[in-house]
Amino acid sequence: MAEERADRQGARIDDPELFLAMDDLELVAHGVVEGALHGMHRSPYIGFSVEFDAHREYQHGDDLRYVNWNLWARTDRLYIKQFKSDTDLNLYILLDTSRSMLCKHGAYPKWAYGARAAAALAYLALHNRDAAGVFLLGERIRNHVPPRVRPDQFHEILALLEDADVSGGTSLAHSLEETIHLCRRRGIVVLISDLFDEEERVLRGLNDLRHYGHEVVVVNVLDAWEAELPPHGQYEFHDLESGEVLQTNAAEVRRGATEAVKAWRNRLRQRCVESGIDWLECTTDTPLSQFLVDYLLRRTEGEGI
């Protein structure tokens, strides 16, 4: 417990600067969504509360009311918003809180980096009057706040994230199976995890979410040292879930370990892309604001991954 409390120091989940950077952005739904508030949203400026059709470049004579001025400010290019329907969207954010997410060689452990991303995405959804919920995953779903649109929803999500119990093993496959039964309305499912679990079972769970009509986004978060070991030094590595200890010289294993991680990530990325799943990868030293903003802009422009 002392280790977990220490890892929480400086890990601020409620980050106003991060929320401000994402203000007026969109997480557009590229597929069909279902919402409980169908027909209530009528404005074309409602964020991701619609089935996304397309953004196209502005042409002379287009109605300026439908120009996305926020994209113009960021890209210096004019885009026209196009919409198919006016239903709201459910955003399901799944955060891995297994003990491996405590790994920290920088400002944030993986769980805190992921929690900040989860809070920012929930803020964006609720700011645009869409439903957002958060699910904490371990060997099963530990706790969750179901997607809702209500005044205190964001504070409830923040409280859930700040009180998260980051411990124990991982069974993402089991957690994803439970998620399917709780995410009954089609929407966007965002999984934030290091994905340290049996590869085939995890991919099967993600594909099952796709089968039930959800759009799926995978955010693979690694500690910087997990992605690439330091060049020199004697290190003792602790498996945070099994307790196994390995002593080694970084210079002797660095190249092989780095190549193995790259190959593993590339294999997962390819399998996800083939299944129509958005794949994002980062390390905890990646500036979160720019990472999320870049992805949201790519989705807005219809590029996806």
pLDDT score at 46: 37
**What's the rounded mean pLDDT across residues 5-18?**
60
Is residue 22 predicted with pLDDT exceeding 50? yes
Burial of 187 (0-12, 13-18, 19+ CB in 10 A): buried
Q: Give 64's pLDDT tier (boundaries 50, 70, 90).
A: confident
Higher-scoring residue by pLDDT: 207, 74? 207
Mean per-residue pLDDT, 90-112: 93
Mean pLDDT for the stretch of residues 98-117:
92
User: pLDDT grade, residue 136 (50/70/90)?
Assistant: very high
CA-wise closest residue to 270 among 285, 259, 281: 281
3-state secondary structure of 175: helix
Higher pLDDT, residue 179 or 304:
179
> What is the model's pLDDT at position 87?
47
Residue 244 pLDDT grade (very low, low, confident, very high; cuts 50, 70, 90): low
- Residue 22: which of 107, 126, 140, 96 has the closest Cα? 126
Run of H or E residues at 292: helix 288-300
Contact yes or no for 155/62 (Cβ under 8 A):
no
In this structure, the number of other CB atoms found within 10 A of the CB of residue 44 comes to 15
Q: Which amino acid is at 12?
A: R
- Looking at residue 191, its pLDDT comes to 98
C-alpha–C-alpha distance, residues 22 and 1, integer Å:
34
Q: What is the pLDDT of residue 216?
A: 96
Position 175 confidence tier, pLDDT thresholds 50, 70, 90 = very high
Confidence band, pLDDT 50/70/90 cuts, at residue 3: very low
Choice among 235-249, 252-266, 287-301 with the minimum mean pLDDT:
235-249
| Range of lowest pLDDT (38-42, 44-48, 72-76, 239-243) | 38-42
pLDDT at 215: 93
Question: d(Cα 284, Cα 266) in Å, to the nearest integer?
Answer: 19
pLDDT class of 48 with cuts at 50, 70, 90: very low
Q: What pLDDT, on a 0 to 100 scale, did the predictor assign at position 2?
A: 36
Provide mean pLDDT across the span 116-125.
Answer: 93
- Under 8 Å between Cβ of 199 and 262: no
Domains of the chain: 2-23+89-294 (3.40.50.410)
**Mean pLDDT across the chain, nearest whole number?**
79
Query: Residue 128 and residue 47: Cα distance in Å, rounded?
Result: 5
